[in-house]
Amino acid sequence: MTTTIDNELWSAVGDPTRRRMLDLLLAHGGGTATTLSERLPVSRQAVAKHLGVLDRVGLVHVTPAGRERRYEVDAAQFARAVAQLSAVAGAWDARLQRIKRIAERIQGTKSD
């Protein structure tokens, strides 16, 4: 199975603050910029900007909740991201196995 890597998606997830935000949203079933900023070492305005990035790539969806906006992780897009990561991990595992076999052959010829 070949999985196309979505560079915008991975650029969004590449930021540690956004990954932590996704963790919090998953753990708490969603949240607002205010509730997330209470759990993160960044301002509410910074949280809102990060949420905007996650929204643009489809990792979260937003629902108005009074004066706030409630964000939840989009399960389908999150599953797509996990599938991409799994594909990349599998490809690297195969590459590392090939490198290991080559190194073992080289070691075998040196001991002769």
pTM listed for this prediction? 0.76
Q: Which domain holds residue 29?
A: 7-110
For the residues 71-96, what does the mean pLDDT come to? Answer: 90
- 2, part of any domain: no
Mean pLDDT of the chain: 90
- Cβ burial, residue 99 (10 Å; 0-12/13-18/19+): exposed
- Nearest CA to 60 among 36, 48, 77? 77
22 found inside a domain: yes
Q: What CATH number has the domain bearing residue 91?
A: 1.10.10.10
- pLDDT digit string, tens, across residues 60-76: 999 998 999 999 999 99
Number of domains in the chain: 1
> What number is the average pLDDT over the span 18-42?
96
Residue 27 domain-assigned (yes or no): yes
Q: How many CB atoms lie within 10 A of CB 96?
A: 10
As a dihedral over the C-alpha atoms of residue 95, residue 98, residue 103, residue 106, rounded to 10 degrees, the angle is: -140
